[in-house]
Amino acid sequence: MPTYQHLIGLALLGAGALIASPVNYVEGDLQELARLLEEANGKAPALVAQSIAKEESVARLDAAKANYWPRLDLGGNFGFTQTSYTSSNYQDEQNVGAGFNATITRPLYHWGAIEALIQQARLDFDNEELQRVFILRQVKRSLRADYLSLLVNQASLDNLRLRRQITEDGLASTRSDKEQGSVSANAAEQAKLDLGQRLIDIEQVEEEQKRIVEDYKRNLGWEAPLRLDQPVPKPNVDAVISWGDQIRAEGQDAWVFDHAEVRRRQNLIAREKQELIRVKSNQRPLFNLTASAGQTQQNTAAANNVDALTYFVGIGVSWNVFDGFATAAKKRETLLRERRLERQLGAYRAELLSQSTHLVRQIGFIARQLQIDQRRGDLATQAFNVQKRDAEEGRISPQTLRSLQLGYNETQLTALRTRVRLIMGINDYLDLTLPVAIDYPKL
């Protein structure tokens, strides 16, 4: 459940919404990817397993709450009973018979131990939900990366096939030259090996495409063919660079208090505080409301083995006065574990802030690289348009044009890959810094 620090973090993040406007999740521009991510929310195996883990935590909470309910115990015995009296005025008694008893016990005051157990179960439930958020973001990141790889691979395959065609044309020319004796056998062999390499390159990319599609089918049940008909979105590079500069200048770090893993670790610390309450209660008197009814067979002055009913209503007390210092050791263990978790939490927060700083810097570097790559792509487009006109007018041969097109395609592919790197960097930053939005049910 949100703390005071979390609310402050959400407020500051809301105030910085204008700064964050240039960076968004890529699925907002790719409808097919958005549908894949929606499927993952209910079908991804890791998320299904985590949902089961959350249900387990609900069952633990119900078990903890059950401690408030009265407990009914039934018992019985049958056998021989010997009663000996120390006074000579009474004669020892012996009887054979059956006895039955029923006891109802309800905790009256256990020094907060039951409340602490329930609070621990609530914290466990919260942590399972926070873990689900963490896993969901991991699953979505993997799906985004794979989908963008599909788009990049499509462009890469077009270029690889063009390269294969050029290599095949070159190999045919080399064979002809070899027959005429103008090309050595070594050169002809090299050309043949180049063609084999081009075929391997194509097969590897096609196999990667196949793997991704099979993963979607296996993990999401996605049977429809992927259209992949939308281009990779083009981020506003200038706006992204300005955003990064402003983030670095203002040093926004309030989000770290509402990070899913930070909140989960805070819950673990709170859990140890509750555990300390439970441990301390072990050496204090525990008060219970008790009612019991029992039937036994006793000897009386008039007859032996007479059925007798006994009733009791009152307060029962149990007190563990000495347990061999076990409680003291458990208390020390709990305090040390709490201190360790606090140290780890501090180190983890520092690591998250370092990661966010590094990500913003990397986003800036990649954005600047994309500016260069895109400008090179624009220049290559202008040059290739001229070359195509030259080919139409017969000043460049079709073979030469294909070689020029290969270089042009490589320039465009480089810009596309840099664009994907920038998109993934932005999405990683959002995954790291966006606050966790969880509506906790009343349990």
Query: Tokens at residue 438, please?
Result: 């969880």
Looking at the domain assignment, is residue 443 inside a domain?
Answer: no
Q: Determine, yes or no, domain membership for 161.
A: yes
- The region of weakest confidence among 162-171, 219-228, 266-275, 294-303 is 294-303
CB 418, CB 370: distance < 8 Å: yes
Is residue 329's pLDDT more than 60? Answer: yes
Identify whether 284 is part of a domain.
yes
User: Residue 422: pLDDT above 60?
Assistant: yes
Nearest C-alpha neighbor of 268 from the set 165, 345, 372, 164: 345
Structural Rg of the chain based on CA atoms: 37
The 3-state secondary structure of the chain reads CCCHHHHHHHHHHHHCHHHHCCCCCHHHCCHHHHHHHHHHHHHCHHHHHHHHHHHHHHHHHHHHHHHHCCEEEEEEEEEEEEECCCCCCCCCEEEEEEEEEEEEEEEEECCCHHHHHHHHHHHHHHHHHHHHHHHHHHHHHHHHHHHHHHHHHHHHHHHHHHHHHHHHHHHHHHHHHHHHCCCCHHHHHHHHHHHHHHHHHHHHHHHHHHHHHHHHHHHHCCCCCCCCCCCCCCCCHHHHHHHHHHHHHHCCCHHHHHCHHHHHHHHHHHHHHHHHHHHHHCCCCEEEEEEEEEEEEECCCCCCCEEEEEEEEEEEEECCCCCCCHHHHHHHHHHHHHHHHHHHHHHHHHHHHHHHHHHHHHHHHHHHHHHHHHHHHHHHHHHHHHHHHHHHCCCCCHHHHHHHHHHHHHHHHHHHHHHHHHHHHHHHHHHHHCCCCCCCCCC
Q: Are 263 and 6 in contact (CB under 8 A)?
A: yes
* Domain presence at residue 442: no
Write down the residue that tokens 């296996």 correspond to.
218
What are the structure tokens assigned to 339, written together?
A: 């201190």
Structural domain contains residue 124: yes
* Mean per-residue pLDDT of the chain: 88
CA distance 13 to 24: 15
Q: Distance (Å, rounded) from C-alpha 138 to C-alpha 392?
A: 51
pLDDT above 90 as % of the chain: 70
Per-residue CA distances from 170 to 177, 192, 195, 343, 366 (Å): 10, 9, 9, 65, 37
Quote the pLDDT of residue 404.
94
Backbone angles phi, psi at 118, to 5 degrees: -65, -40
- Confirm whether 142 is domain-assigned: yes
Per-residue model confidence (pLDDT) at position 201: 95
Q: For residue 408, which of 173, 159, 202 has the smallest C-alpha distance?
A: 159
Q: Read off the tokens for 92.
A: 């020892």
pLDDT at 301: 64
- pLDDT value, residue 440: 53
In a domain, 353, yes or no: yes
Compute the residue count for the chain. Answer: 443
Report how far residue 252's alpha carbon sits from residue 261's, in angstroms, rounded to the nearest whole number: 18
| pLDDT at residue 21, rounded to an integer | 53
pLDDT at 20: 42
Give tens-digit pLDDT for 53-92: 999 999 999 999 999 899 999 998 888 877 787 777 777 7
Cα(15)–Cα(35) distance, rounded to whole angstroms?
30
Domain of residue 109: give its range. 4-433
Report yes or no on 111 lying in a domain.
yes
Domain count across the chain: 1
Q: What percent of the chain has pLDDT over 70?
A: 92
87-116 confidence digits (pLDDT tens) = 777 777 777 778 889 999 999 999 999 999
Cα–Cα distance measured from residue 298 to residue 295, given in angstroms and rounded to the nearest whole number = 10
> What CATH number is attached to the domain comprising 423?
1.20.1600.10
How far apart (Å, rounded) are the C-alpha atoms in residues 393 and 404?
16
